[in-house]
């Protein structure tokens, strides 16, 4: 009888060991951000929608809701496919993303003064979003194949070089500097967690800081000499002194700062923003965080930042417990993508860095962005499903 009980206990333990992990906390956070994003998107875009040729206050909401539904379906599919399945397509995805970016030159669709989209079967796709996912997959696969070679100088440079061509193409062809920075940042972060030699990263950081400082210094000197040219140079000047460019490149930044300042601690109330009424350009896109601050105040802004911090924490939990290095690197890549994009968006809106035009993940308007972000979340959930509960 004792043996039978012992056998039953052993069977229960064995069954418990085989139970898979599913991160419902991560799923809840993502669903909350999506739902909140749709609410604040409607609030920030209803005025612009009512001024269209065919007035529809819910125009942007309907398009974003459609993309969100498709993205959720894609997330469910990806989450239920073992993540190693995608490893065999890593190189193909990298090459396809390059081809899609190059196709923008002859076939790109222009919107809001930027040529960043391709139209396929009536659906607009932003190749930069495809490139982010492709770089994550390819780098995770490459780092796993290289093994200890990544610790050598040659291995370090090889991995660091992988995102550079795509970053340069995104920057020059699509004129999307923010996405170029994100792609490069994803590569650096994945390399950072894969190698123990942090001195190289200190050198990279110092080198990048020095280059940026020199660039700003040169632009200021050229401006003093009256020979400044180029949109990006003007953006630097508008960043340093937005009031001097209030009718040009500094206009959007100033309006965003007005929105943030007028929100106070608790905000004016949901739907009560004044800046969205034709004052703040792209209120539903890059500058949606300023509308959050105006309508929900500092309390609302901090609450959303805390949700993103919780999201990053869940990524770290899954990465630390991932079954293998490939799975951990996939999660780190997705974490880097979202974290860098959130930091850049908030920094742009608060004028901490020059205006580069970057959306807030899961909240800003953009079908391609939410679709590929949800596919990345599907990858993370797939890695999480590979985790087995330990017998305590």
Residue 109: which H helix or E strand, with range? strand 109-111
* Same structural domain, 378 and 273: yes
Give the separation between CA 133 and CA 52, rounded to whole angstroms.
34
* Same structural domain, 105 and 132: yes
* Same structural domain, 109 and 69: no
Q: So what's the pLDDT on residue 308?
A: 97
As to burial, measured by CB atoms within 10 angstroms (0-12 exposed, 13-18 middle, 19+ buried), residue 342 is: buried
Q: Which of 162, 195, 228 is the last residue of a domain?
A: 195
Q: Domain for residue 392, yes or no?
A: no
Q: Is the pLDDT at 123 greater than 90, yes or no?
A: no
320 vs 203, more confident: 320
Describe the strand order of the beta sheet including 123-125 as a list of residue ranges. Answer: 109-111, 114-120, 123-125
Q: Domain for residue 150, yes or no?
A: yes
- What is the residue range of 128's domain? 81-195
* Same structural domain, 375 and 301: yes
Q: Domain for residue 123, yes or no?
A: yes
* Same structural domain, 256 and 378: yes
Q: Which of 160, 195, 230 is the last residue of a domain?
A: 195
Q: Domain for residue 270, yes or no?
A: yes
- For residue range 232-280, what is the model confidence (pLDDT) as tens digits? 677 888 888 888 888 888 888 999 999 999 999 999 999 899 998 888 8
Q: So what's the pLDDT on residue 6?
A: 42
Domain count, the chain: 2
- For residue range 15-56, what is the model confidence (pLDDT) as tens digits? 444 567 788 999 999 999 999 999 999 999 998 888 877 788
Q: So what's the pLDDT on residue 231?
A: 63
* Same structural domain, 281 and 362: yes
* Same structural domain, 255 and 336: yes
Q: Domain for residue 334, yes or no?
A: yes
Tell me what the mean pLDDT of segment 335-339 comes to: 96
Q: Domain for residue 3, yes or no?
A: no
Q: Is the pLDDT at 228 greater than 70, yes or no?
A: no
Give the separation between CA 80 and CA 321, rounded to whole angstroms.
18
Distance of CA 252 to the CA centre of its chain: 21
Confidence of residue 353 (pLDDT cuts 50, 70, 90): confident
* Same structural domain, 293 and 362: yes
Q: Domain for residue 380, yes or no?
A: yes
DSSP labels, 270-295: TT--STTTTTSTTTTTTTHHHHHHHH
HSE value, Cβ hemisphere, 13 Å, CA-based, for 97: 27
* Same structural domain, 269 and 383: yes
**CB of 378 closer than 8 Å to CB of 8:** no
CA geometry: angle 109, 110, 113, nearest 5 deg: 170
- For residue range 167-215, what is the model confidence (pLDDT) as tens digits? 999 998 988 888 999 999 999 999 999 887 788 888 888 988 898 889 8
* Same structural domain, 70 and 95: no
* Same structural domain, 55 and 158: no
- What SS3 state is found at 106? helix
- For residue range 135-165, what is the model confidence (pLDDT) as tens digits? 999 999 999 999 888 888 888 898 889 999 9
Q: What are phi and psi of 125, to 5 degrees?
A: -125, 135
Q: Domain for residue 354, yes or no?
A: yes
* Same structural domain, 66 and 135: no
């Amino acid at each position: 009888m004792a043996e039978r009980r012992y056998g039953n206990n052993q069977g229960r333990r064995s069954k418990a060991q085989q139970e898979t992990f599913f991160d419902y906390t991560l799923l809840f956070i993502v669903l909350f951000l999506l739902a909140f994003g749709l609410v604040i998107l409607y609030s920030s875009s209803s005025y612009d929608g009512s001024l269209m040729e065919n007035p529809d206050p819910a125009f942007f909401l309907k398009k974003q809701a459609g993309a969100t539904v498709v993205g959720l379906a894609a997330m469910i599919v990806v989450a239920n496919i073992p993540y190693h399945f995608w490893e065999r397509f890593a190189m193909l995805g990298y090459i396809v993303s390059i081809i899609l970016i190059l196709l923008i030159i002859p076939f790109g669709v222009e919107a809001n003064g930027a040529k960043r989209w391709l139209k396929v079967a009536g659906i607009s796709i932003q190749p930069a979003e495809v490139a982010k996912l492709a770089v994550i997959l390819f780098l995770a696969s490459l780092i796993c194949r290289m093994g200890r070679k990544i610790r050598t100088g040659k291995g370090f440079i090889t991995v660091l070089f992988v995102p550079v061509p795509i970053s340069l193409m995104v920057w020059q062809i699509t004129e999307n500097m923010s996405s170029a920075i994100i792609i490069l940042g994803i590569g650096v972060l994945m390399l950072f967690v894969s190698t123990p030699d942090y001195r190289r990263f200190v050198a990279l950081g110092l080198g990048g800081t020095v280059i940026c400082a020199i660039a700003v210094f040169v632009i200021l000197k050229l401006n003093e000499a009256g020979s400044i040219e180029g949109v990006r140079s003007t953006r630097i000047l508008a960043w340093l002194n937005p009031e001097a460019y209030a009718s040009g490149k500094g206009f959007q930044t100033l309006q965003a700062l007005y929105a943030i300042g007028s929100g106070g601690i608790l905000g004016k109330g949901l739907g009560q923003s004044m800046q969205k009424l034709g004052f703040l350009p792209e209120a539903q896109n890059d500058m949606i965080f300023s509308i959050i601050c105006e309508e929900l105040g500092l309390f609302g802004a901090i609450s959303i930042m805390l949700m993103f911090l919780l999201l990053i924490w869940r990524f770290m939990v899954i990465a630390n417990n991932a079954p293998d290095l490939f799975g951990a690197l996939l999660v780190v890549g997705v974490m880097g993508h979202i974290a860098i994009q959130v930091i850049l968006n908030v920094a742009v809106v608060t004028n901490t860095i020059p205006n580069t035009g970057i959306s807030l993940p899961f909240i800003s308007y953009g079908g391609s962005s939410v679709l590929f972000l949800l596919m990345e979340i599907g990858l993370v959930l797939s890695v999480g499903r590979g985790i087995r509960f330990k017998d305590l």
